[in-house]
Amino acid sequence: VSTRGADHAIDRDRFEDTYHASSTAILGYLIRRTSNPEDAADLLAEVYLVAWRRIRDVPNGDQARLWLYAVARRVLANERRRAKTRDNLAEQLRTELGQSHLNMPQDDRAKAPDGRVEEVRTALGRLGPSDRELITLTAWEGLTPREIARVIGRPPAVVRVRLHRARRRLNDQLMLIEQHQEPWETQRVVAGWEARRH
């Protein structure tokens, strides 16, 4: 009993440390990729429920954050295709988020009245899901190509090449917007229904 109890205490300590070190970053990742901040609270609960259940699989140190991004990425990809029943684990956080001023993206207009934020967001929206993911993981989460590789499960060399192409395409889209050319298409933020060879 004492051994199991000690193990459990270690698990709790590790989980608490991991949670405190990473929950803001993971919530940010989710909020930036959902249309409603309150929903991000439920997704956050789902991510950390996976982490808690699999706490002994969670790597140590900063690698834990990358592991959690990878889980969050899968949770987000699955989210809109499931008719889920929420168990309200994050009820209070959800309420606080609803009362906060984190309602994107209207707040950005005050930040950048020249409209450049809107141009960038529009350009991002025109990228394919893969390009957009690489660009935003770099710019918003501050991840290096090697870290992104761990999150998305691809070799670092592949990530570097794809990131280079994604930057080029983003630049092209921004130039198109500057020239006031209408987009020929829109892209869905949440990718899905694509089977890939891993």
Partner 1 sequence: MNPFRSPTRTSGDGDQLIQLVARANPVTDDAINEAGLAAGFDALLQRLMERPTERPRRSRRRGGVVALVIALGIVLSSGVALGGMYSTHTGFFPPKKGTENDTSEYLRTDAPDFPPLVRSLVQDIPFPPGDSALSRVPGYIALKQPGADGVPEVVQAAGIKGQFSFWALCAWRGYWVKAYNGSDRTEQATGADGLATIASSDAMKAVDAWWPVYLDVAHREAAGDPSVPAKMKNFFQVNCAGTPNVQAGR
Residues 106-145 within binding reach of partner 1 (CB under 8 A): 107-108, 111-112, 116-117, 120-122, 124-126, 128, 130, 135-136, 138-140
Residue 197: count of CB within 10 angstroms of its CB: 3
Please report which helix (H) or strand (E) contains residue 145, including its range. helix 145-152
Q: How far is the CB of 67 from partner 1 (least distance, A)?
A: 13
Q: Which of 45, 76, 143, 152 binds partner 1 (CB under 8 A)?
A: 45
Q: Does 52 bind partner 1 (CB under 8 A)?
A: yes
Least Cα distance to 64 among 74, 73, 77, 51 occurs for 51
Cα–Cα distance between 94 and 180 in angstroms, integer?
Answer: 39
Specify the residue, 40 or 150, whose C-beta has the smaller distance to partner 1.
40
For residues 73-95, b (16+ Cβ closer than 10 Å) or e, as one string? bebbeebeeeeeeeeeebeebbe
1 binds partner 1 (CB under 8 A): no
Cα distance between residue 121 and residue 30, in whole Å? 17
Of positions 10, 61, 81, 109, contacts partner 1 by CB under 8 A: 81
User: Smallest gap, in angstroms, from Cβ of residue 124 to partner 1?
Assistant: 7
Binding to partner 1, residues 140-169 (CB under 8 A): 140, 158, 161-162, 164-165, 167
Site residue total, partner 1 (CB under 8 A): 96
With CB under 8 A as the contact rule, the residue among 2, 3, 153, 182 that binds partner 1 is 182
- Spatial distance between the Cα atoms of 155 and 149, rounded to a whole number of angstroms: 6
CB of 171 to partner 1, least distance (A): 5
Q: What is the C-alpha separation between 142 and 184, in angstroms, rounded?
A: 30
Cβ at position 5, least distance to partner 1 in Å: 13
Residue 101 sits in the site that holds partner 1 (CB under 8 A): yes
Tokens of 101: 């001023």
